[in-house]
Amino acid sequence: MLKSKTLTCVAIGGVVLGVAVGLYLATAELPTTHAQGAQGSQPQFSPVKALTAREAYYPGTEDLAPGEMRITACGTGMPNARPKQAAACFLVELGNGDKFIFDIGTGSAERLSALAIPMDYLDKVFIGHLHSDHFGDLDALWVGGVISNRQRPLRVWGPSGATPELGTKYAVERMQEMLTWDTASRLGNVNTRGQQIELHEFDYKGINQVIYQENGVTIRSIPAIHALDGPVSFILEWNGLKFAFSSDTYPNKWWIEHTKDADIAIHECFLPPALLVEKQGWPVQDALNVGTQVHTSPAMFGKVMSSIKPRLAVAYHFFNDFDTRPEVERLVRMTYDGPLALAVDYMVINVTKDDIKVRMAVINEDVWPLPSVTAKLPADPSERIGFTEFIESGREVFADVIQEAYEDTNKRFGTNVQPPDYR
């Protein structure tokens, strides 16, 4: 297996992304060249046929092989909102059909929607800790998922805390309370089967404890060291493949012991302290504390990866730009010389026992929700809470155009739905 360090430039959507990816050139399916066509016996290009080889991943257009894992970065950035990088989120898809979301940081629900996956399949979320950049879009996935045709409950796993109010159960229940008006407003207007949440809070101190075991997939948690007691990292094992995701953590003995020889190890790699000062205007004291004590710095990330030696190390949790990437990579390379990917949003990693392929996804910004997997039920109007007489008294009912909308729509779909009688 070729383990060269390769700096590959990938042009996506007019943006040139320098991606340091070991194995990239060894495994990418590059299109056949003109030279091969000229020298070979068969012409390689047709003026009317599509190319068969792809350098990019087009969501919804590729089968997964039975033994294959596909990981898509749906958030690789920081707590600061930014168009290019949502906050932490990685989707793991398996060849048995299972899909798992690890962290659901602010902005990441939009990235998940771009992958053109029916929402019913995006029903399992594992939250590493309760910073908003790791679970801030849970509400968007929860409520938005219902509107986008999820018919199943959302299943959420997350750690306890040192006290009950620092745990996932407390946070998710308060999120539901926060959205009391939202939930009430939807009764009778949309079917809300998908609005159930199935919550699994587990002990944050568990070491390599099994928190999920179904369909040949085992997910374990290990404690993480980050800001307060409570954070965890995750290890998923399936079909002889091992995926590890740190969420946020200072380097720790549990990660080093239990993620050894992972196929894919995704670990936080925070911006170097000097860049936190220069680019973000932090006081030096805070930059050093947050950059090396609360989080893992690039050189610390390299030490971690040199200890566990994954088939591919993936660094995330920094603004990955033309002027930050070289410094992050230089610092990682001081302590680690193995296969490396510096993650950006929409990076896609296909993993089999023999091969790891890293590409970028090309997404359709005009994407619509996919249909539900099971039959979609209409809302039950009897659930509707309705308005007070005061608000009702304010309606200006344009009965003629409403009638026309009902008639036209009924005609188009062969239905006979009648408008409400506001008199």
- Shortest Å, Cβ 248 to Zn ion: 4
Distances (CA, A) of 55 to 69, 329, 356: 18, 24, 14
Residue 93 found at the interface with Zn ion (CB under 5 A): no
Contact between 124 and Zn ion by CB under 5 A: the answer reads no
Q: How far is the CB of 324 from Zn ion (least distance, A)?
A: 17
Please give the torsion angle defined by the CA atoms of residues 402, 408, 409 and 411, in that order, rounded to the nearest 10 degrees. Answer: 140
d(CA 317, CA 297): 10
Closest CA to 219 of 245, 254, 196: 245
Q: Which is nearer to Zn ion, 68 or 133 (CB)?
A: 133
Q: How far is the CB of 197 from Zn ion (least distance, A)?
A: 22
Burial class (CB in 10 A: 0-12, 13-18, 19+), 205: middle
Site for Zn ion in 125-184 (CB under 5 A): 131, 133
Q: Does 220 bind Zn ion (CB under 5 A)?
A: no
Q: How many residues bind Zn ion (CB under 5 A)?
A: 3
Q: Of the two residues 222 and 363, which places its CB atom closer to Zn ion in the complex?
A: 222
State which residue, 120 or 248, has the beta carbon closest to Zn ion: 248
Alpha-carbon gap, residue 236 to 221, rounded angstroms: 9
* Contact code string over 234-253 relative to Zn ion, x by CB under 5 A: --------------x-----
Q: What share of the chain is helix, strand, coil (3-state, %, to 5)?
A: 30, 25, 50
Question: Closer CB to Zn ion, residue 118 or residue 230?
Answer: 230
What DSSP letter does each residue of 109-135 carry, written as one string? HHHHHTT---GGG--EEE-S---HHHH
- Pick the closest to residue 320 from 36, 4, 94, 19 (CA basis): 19
Q: Least Å distance between CB 397 and Zn ion?
A: 50
Contact 104, 134 (CB under 8 A): yes
Compute CA distances 340 → 205, 331, 333, whole Å.
30, 13, 9
- Give the per-residue contact string, 248-287, with Zn ion (x = CB under 5 A; - = no): x---------------------------------------
Closer of 133 and 345 to Zn ion (Cβ) = 133
Site for Zn ion in 380-399 (CB under 5 A): none
**Residue showing the smallest CB distance to Zn ion in the complex:** 131
Q: How far is the CB of 256 from Zn ion (least distance, A)?
A: 20
Closest CB 159 distance from Zn ion, rounded Å: 12
- Give the residues lining the site for Zn ion (CB under 5 A): 131, 133, 248
